[in-house]
Chain A
Amino acid sequence: MLTGLAIEGLAVERGARRLFEGVSLTLARGELLTLTGANGAGKTSLLRAVAGFLRPQAGDIRFEGQDAEDARAESLHYLGHQDGLKPARTAWEELCFQAQWCGGTRESAKAAVEALALQPLLDLEIRKLSAGQRRRVALARLIAAPRPLWLLDEPMAPLDAERRSGFGALMAQHLQGSGLILAAAHDPFPVPGRTVQIGASA
């Protein structure tokens, strides 16, 4: 069971450019840590390094209570800028697949439909949804397949004000249930948490 995340002295390069170095942070159960920083500062790269997509040039990423490979296969959700949904399939087909792929069931997918008010969208093909609606379908997998660590890259960018506060409530609920959230964002979340600035001053 994943109980925490500790990053020490992390440095990441993209191309020939060093995005950041010496980034250290810890994240414990029930905590939200927001990464801020200018465009191109490396927020996304840090999240991708934690998810295991990108190999850092220096430093250490430690998952507490679980080895890294298992944690990445079973205990984290990575939700990047893109929604990862297939245009030709319906919202329900995609949600069901994503839920089952991440360890959930059709029943838990139904619960996620309730939580994100997706009922009217279920039979529509993804290509017919707006950016905000697609994002809500993508966010639903966080609820449909319970995994402790959420890595979110600007999760609320396409959402309207009402959906933002709705998703804030889901984040708060996840934190209350001992979840961990590491998120990149320009605007603060409607949930209390710590903030770390990435880039020049980090």
Chain B
Amino acid sequence: MKTFLVLLRRELDLAWGGGGGPVLGCAFLACVTTLLPLAAGPSLVRLAGFAPGAAWVALALASLLSLERMFERDYEDGALDLLATGPLPLEAVALAKGLAQWSANGLPLAAAAPIAAIALGASSTSALLILACAAIGGLGFAFTGGIGAAVALGARRGGVLIAVIVLPLFAPPVIFGAGAVGNFTAGLPWLGGLGFLSAYSLATLALAPFAMAAAVRNALG
């Protein structure tokens, strides 16, 4: 456990440091949020109709931004060799990397998501639910995205490959998350969507480290 904490601290330090994830992700979210009304026209009623959905697509895209750094840098500078000969299995390394990705990318984006959604016309009463959904969905984005990042290791144009692998897998959280927020706004039952979203994220948390570790082993060989 102590070794895992040592590893987690390093991963958090790397994910947060170096001019990285949080600022860039939130800036990207702000840009998309600004562009959408320009494209869809200024009608507030029309914007409010698709605000939750648009906010979720923006979130999913922003989650892609720092995925490439998750394994690629350790692979290129040889640190992955060190991590692979440590006392903890690569699955634990993948878990630490996923948690760090969530903390440096998912949580800051979740904090920014209600602002983006309200700016697009979502009702301010839904802010708390949007925050919760984005935080929970961000966990799923980080771990599903980690699979793509590990599979794309060593590939040319890995960043694009990650997006192509991962975006289809982002469909369930986008559907559940946007559905929950949309239903809440419309006064319909929304707990089901939130439940499915949580189930998706917990399942990726439990399963994705195994897939990431297998892909990393493959890349090391």
Q: Other CB < 8 Å A-B pairs besides A76-B85, A84-B82, 13 of them?
A: A48-B220, A51-B84, A52-B84, A53-B84, A53-B220, A53-B221, A73-B88, A78-B85, A84-B78, A86-B73, A88-B18, A101-B6, A102-B86
A80 contact set on B, CB distance < 8 A = 78, 81
Whether A98 contacts B85 by the Cβ 8 Å rule is no
**A51–B79 contact, CB under 8 A?**
no
Residues of B within 8 A of A53 (CB): 81, 84, 217, 220-221
Q: List 17 A-B contacts (CB under 8 A).
A: A48-B221, A51-B81, A73-B85, A73-B86, A73-B87, A73-B88, A73-B89, A80-B81, A82-B78, A82-B81, A86-B77, A93-B13, A101-B6, A101-B7, A102-B85, A102-B86, A141-B82
State A76–B84 Cα separation when bound (angstroms): 11
Q: How far is the CA of A98 from the CA of B10 in the complex (A)?
A: 10
Distance of B200 from chain A, by nearest CB (Å): 32
Q: How far is the CA of A53 from the CA of B206 in the complex (A)?
A: 25
| CB atoms of A101 and B86 under 8 A apart | yes
The reply to whether A97 and B10 contact each other, CB–CB distance below 8 Å, is yes
Chain A residues positioned under 8 Å from B83 (CB to CB): 101
Q: Is the interface of B mostly helix, strand, loop or mixed?
A: helix
A107 interface contact, C-beta 8 A: no
Candidates A52, A93, A98; contact of B82 at CB < 8 Å: A98
The 8 closest A-B pairs by CB, nearest first: A82-B78, A84-B78, A84-B79, A88-B18, A53-B220, A84-B82, A100-B6, A54-B221
CA distance A84 to B10 in the complex (A): 13
Q: Is A77 an interface residue (CB 8 A)?
A: yes
